[in-house]
Amino acid sequence: MKRIPTLDGWRAVAIIAVVIHHLGRCFYQQESAYNLSVTRFGAFGVDVFFGLSGLLIKTAAAAAPALQLAALSADHVDAGFILHALGAVPVGLSALSLLVEPFLVALPVNHPFANREPVFFADVASDPVVIFPRHIVPSLFDALLSYYHVKSITPHIAQEAIEMQTIVSLVAAGMGIAWVPQVFARFARPGVVYRHVEDMPVSIETSLIWNSCEMPIIDRFVNHIKSAPNFSPPVFEPIA
């Protein structure tokens, strides 16, 4: 990830604030006097550190799939985990499927079909969509949009967001619907309901991926996963 020079100044502010915060307590015997002094604002430095950390983690997470594949290609890592459309394992890599799940549609609670189970693609096809950027999971993004095109529909992308929590929050705010993994339905968000879509053929696959060359350590790792109790990835058959 590229260095962001603008953040250096904020790092300096945070460090100075924290140092003042701790040094200042040495000069006050009474807590009430300390609370009235400027040194109490040293806690602001901690908040700045948390803010910077969140920004950098989110930036790194956005690039994670591309970085992971690049690291595999350069032999910097031996294996990794990746989300992709069903069967769309990157070319040249070996893979072990760990989970296959369908997309659910996340609807605002006031949506006309919020109380129907299941719904059909035609019920929501014209709604604005809140979706992840293509570079996050290209195969899933392409599979979803391809299905819209098969149905002769041009999707109206209302907003892109990286994190699923953010996407669902935007749905709750009424910005549109969202396609989310089935497992994410466990994330209870006020103002949002999750519904199965009877005729949605796009499935999400989670795979362990590694370079195809033989490596004893990778073989042992794969065999260890396969030997786990009741290891049998659920498979949802695509809808014709």
pLDDT confidence bin for 130, thresholds 50/70/90: very high
Q: How many CB atoms lie within 10 A of CB 66?
A: 12
Same domain flag for 12 and 46? yes
Residue 191 counted as domain residue: yes
Same domain flag for 31 and 95? no
Residue 226 counted as domain residue: no
The predicted pLDDT at position 89 comes to: 84
φ, ψ for residue 197, nearest 5 deg: -110, 115
Are 187 and 165 in contact, with CB atoms under 8 Å apart?
yes
Residue 234 counted as domain residue: no
Same domain flag for 90 and 113? yes
Examine the pLDDT at 40 and tell me if it is beyond 60. no
Same domain flag for 122 and 54? no
Residue 214 counted as domain residue: no
The number of distinct structural domains making up the chain is 2
Section 17-42 average pLDDT: 60
Domain endpoint, select from 56, 73, 90: 73
Distance CA 127, CA 110 (A): 13
φ, ψ for residue 115, nearest 5 deg: -100, 10
Distance CA 202, CA 187 (A): 21
Question: Mind listing the pLDDT tens digit for each residue in 173-222?
Answer: 999 999 998 888 877 788 999 999 999 999 998 888 888 776 787 888 88
The predicted pLDDT at position 26 comes to: 64
Same domain flag for 136 and 27? no
CATH of the domain at 156: 3.40.190.10
Same domain flag for 195 and 99? yes
Same domain flag for 14 and 107? no
Taking the chain, what is the end-to-end CA distance rounded to the nearest angstrom? Answer: 42
Examine the pLDDT at 3 and tell me if it is beyond 70. no
Same domain flag for 36 and 133? no
Cis bond upstream, residue 102 (ω within 30): no
CB contact set of 11 (below 8 Å; sequence gap of 6+): 52
DSSP string, 80-134: EEEEEETT-PPTTEEEEEEEEEEEEEEEETTSTTTT-SSB-HHHHTTS-EEE--T
Same domain flag for 68 and 137? no
Which residue reads 């992971």 in tokens? 68
Same domain flag for 99 and 173? yes
Same domain flag for 196 and 158? yes
Helix, coil or strand: residue 187: coil
Owning domain of residue 17: 6-73
